[in-house]
Amino acid sequence: MHHYPDASAVVRALSPDEPVILNRPHAAARAARFFAEKFPGKSLYAVKANPSPDLLQVLWEAGVTHYDVASIAEVRLVRSVLPGAVLCFMHPVKSQGAIAEAYTVHGVRVFSLDSHEELAKIVAATSHAEDLSLCVRLRVSSDYSELSLASKFGIDLADAAPLLQATRQVADSLGVCFHVGSQAMTPFAYVQALERVRAAIVDAAVTVDIVDVGGGFPSIYPGMEPPPLEDYFGALHRAAESLPVSYSSELWCEPGRALCAEYSSLVVKVERGRGDELYINDGAYGALYDAAHVGWRFPVRCISAGRGETLSAFSFYGPTCDDADFMEGPFMLPADIAPGDYIEVGMLGAYGAAMKTAFNGFGQARVFEVADEPMASQYTGQRTDPRAKDNVVSLR
């Protein structure tokens, strides 16, 4: 793989007509070390956020040993890249064949569930195995997150006790897990969810070995500047220590976005301008899926020389023939930006590469490594560990 100092160097060398993905392994490694060293428990990388084999290797070498896989394809991928990794099949609804292959072929012992039907399926597919770690997913609020994950999965608190009790009977290790939603903007999201965990454990009167707080740890985007991750870790540590099973349980988390958002950016070319709309060569069916379909505002900068300092708000159209290939933004760029100019779109390591398609024949992108810093970072290393002091967690 070719290496360049930054996006401008790539453009000067190649003048690319197709999008270019820029990877920053040093940024992903730094994020992995941060979680490995500072999270008060075990961190599982959520592979769905970016399943790149190169990224998986970077995270492994930086200390991430456990991986949250959500399909048998992800199980196979991670096992082929990282033979020594611990794989945790955390999708609550799986086929019996996928469970059986994961258990017998790939050595998976950790599974999640949110129903009695799924519990029976796991027991049958593993031939009543006695070495299972089973995590019951509890439904919690996504009110403090930018993207909700509160509707599809999770058993309601009112129904959780019988499922926890039944799972305890067949599990070597019992866990309770949840997901507060993607891009949680306050530590209180986890504190509130852990109160629900407390109620579920008390109602069921079971011993719990794993408390998995899921994902949702945020990155920095325009208009979304969350508290430092140290605040989240401190709040989680204090809330978990107050649970009735704190003496017997291990704390887990499943970061996806937080580990890989800073890994990649994208260089696109402006093909046309129409007022405050720019036609670019990537879009809703490529790495900018989130910008189109959920209105995500990614940081942008013009990397062509000679443009003015006055910024204006622009929307983007992608390269396909669909009107849906539209990203409203606003994306702040030089007011005099013109066709032929190049734009770097930052913080695309999470979900950007994973969501790309070849619709309309587009989707090709060369990949290079660059040495500069991402456009924003949660990992400056300048803050002290808040567990050493009495922090107050704000509600927003």
Which DSSP symbol is given to 138? B
Any residues with CB less than 8 A from the CB of 83 and at least 6 apart, and which?
none
Could you read off the pLDDT of 222-259 as tens digits, one per residue? Answer: 999 999 999 999 999 999 999 999 888 999 999 999 99
Any residues with CB less than 8 A from the CB of 111 and at least 6 apart, and which?
88, 89, 90, 94, 99, 102, 122, 132, 133, 134, 135
CB burial of residue 115 (10 Å; 0-12, 13-18, 19+): middle
Q: Which domains does the chain have, with CATH numbers?
A: 3-22+264-370 (2.40.37.10), 25-260 (3.20.20.10)
Any residues with CB less than 8 A from the CB of 281 and at least 6 apart, and which?
17, 18, 19, 268, 269, 271, 318, 319, 362
User: According to the model, what pLDDT value does residue 374 have?
Assistant: 96
Token look-up 């509130």 returns 192
Could you read off the pLDDT of 290-314 as tens digits, one per residue? Answer: 999 989 999 999 999 999 999 999 9
Could you tell me which of 62, 110, 7 has the C-alpha nearest to residue 260? Answer: 62
Peptide linkage before 53 cis (omega within 30 of 0)? no
Could you read off the pLDDT of 28-38 as tens digits, one per residue? Answer: 999 999 999 99
What does the pLDDT average to over 338-348?
97
Which DSSP symbol is given to 361? G
Asked whether residue 52 carries a pLDDT value surpassing 80, the answer given is yes
Asked whether residue 51 carries a pLDDT value surpassing 50, the answer given is yes
C-alpha 375/C-alpha 332 separation (Å) is 14
Query: E strand or H helix at 343, and its extent?
Result: strand 342-345
The rounded Cα 143 to chain-centroid distance in angstroms is: 18
